Copies of this chain bind each other. A is one copy, B any other.
Amino acid sequence: MCELTVYLLENDREEKLMEDVATITPEGERLVLTDLLGQQQIVEARIKELRLLEHKVYLTR
């Protein structure tokens, strides 16, 4: 399996936004995150880096 944990980097802080993320879809200035259970979270942010070996996605504003 390949779920990722999504973090928002802001003011040198790393905030965990969502675990078990199954899809990430950019829509304009936003990202739609969907987890394994189908729960969605919409964030005004962009992808800063995907570190797949660590199962982490870093977002930034």
Q: A49 at the A/B interface (Cβ < 8 Å)?
A: yes
How many interface residues does A have (CB within 8 Å)?
A: 19
Q: Does A11 interact with chain B (Cβ within 8 Å)?
A: no
Contact pattern, A 17-61, Cβ under 8 Å of B = 1, otherwise 0:
000011111100000000000000000001111111101000000
Give the B-binding residues of A (Cβ under 8 A): 1-4, 21-26, 46-53, 55
Closest CB in chain B relative to A53 CB, distance in Å: 5
Chain B: minimal CB distance from A47 (Å):
6
- Interfacial chain B residues near A2, Cβ < 8 Å: 2, 4, 52-53, 55
Q: Of all chain B residues, which has the CB nearest A55? A: B2
